[in-house]
Structures are given as structure tokens and as C-alpha cells.
């Protein structure tokens, strides 16, 4: 199976935002979670 990676910035788009914001998150909350991941050096 080939591995592929996406940029953390793509997490703001669907369908990734649905997973990151599960069960129900606003755009602001999703952006906050992405910022937190970036602080943890997750790219």
C-alpha cells in the first residue's frame, strides 16, 4: 500500500475538518485545533 501525506492546512477542508472537529465544531474551533497541532510541530 502506498503512503501519501497531506498538508495540515488541508485539515480545514472537508472531509478532514469533519474528523478534526468531531462531533460538531465551528470553523473557529477547527482553526484553533490546527494551530495547536502546529505548536506541537505536527506538519
Q: Give this prediction's pTM.
A: 0.78
Residues 13-34: what's their mean pLDDT?
93
The pLDDT > 90 percentage for the chain reads 67
pLDDT of residue 31: 95
- Judged against a pLDDT cut of 90, whether residue 13 lies above it is answered with yes
Q: What are the residue ranges spanned by the domains of the chain? A: 8-39
Residue 41 to residue 32: CA distance in whole angstroms:
14
Residue 15 to residue 27: CA distance in whole angstroms:
13
The pLDDT > 70 percentage for the chain reads 100
Average per-residue pLDDT in the chain? 91
Amino acid at each position: 500500500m502506498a503512503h501519501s501525506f497531506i498538508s495540515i492546512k488541508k485539515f480545514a477542508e472537508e472531509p478532514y475538518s469533519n474528523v478534526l472537529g468531531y462531533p460538531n465544531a465551528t470553523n473557529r474551533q477547527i482553526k484553533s485545533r490546527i494551530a495547536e497541532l502546529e505548536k506541537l510541530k505536527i506538519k
